[in-house]
Amino acid sequence: MHPALLTNSNSGTARTDVPEINFVRPIPGFSDLRHFALARIDDRESLISELRSLERPDVRFVVTTPAIFFSDYVVELDDEDCEQLGLESAADALILTVLTPGEDAKTTTANLLAPMVINAKNRAAAQVILTGSDWPVRAPLG
């Protein structure tokens, strides 16, 4: 554990000013993709964004800042994750959760066990599996 990097989901919001996000290790199931962009799904101020592959634009993840739906959500990063991402401060960590869209907001779920962590300063990213955590893979939003 890196005590300075115990962070809740309020640190950061989904942003469109990050031109390219580079994953320091592959996202499980997508080993050939490392370069992504974070974009709003529509032109309005949306709570939901998409993380889109720059190598294969058909690969997209629907993401959100977990604080919007889970005020008690906390991510604890270990030293190895912090080193790989170049994180020196919790304030630099943008935490996003991957959503599995349902028919409506009540049936949409968030993967709280494996958030996407992005260093806002250098745009290095990784999907981090929170070992020893009770956070679910499919937490209902509604």
pTM of the model: 0.84
The predicted pLDDT at position 16 comes to 40
Q: Say whether pLDDT at 111 is over 60.
A: yes
pLDDT one-digit tens code per residue, 48-83: 899 999 999 999 999 999 988 999 999 999 999 999
The predicted pLDDT at position 104 comes to 85
Contact 9, 111 (CB under 8 A): no
pLDDT one-digit tens code per residue, 14-50: 444 446 999 999 999 999 999 999 988 766 567 889 9
% of the chain at pLDDT higher than 90 = 73
**106-115 mean pLDDT:** 95
The residues, ordered by sequence, that sit 6+ positions from 133 with a Cβ below 8 Å of its Cβ are 113
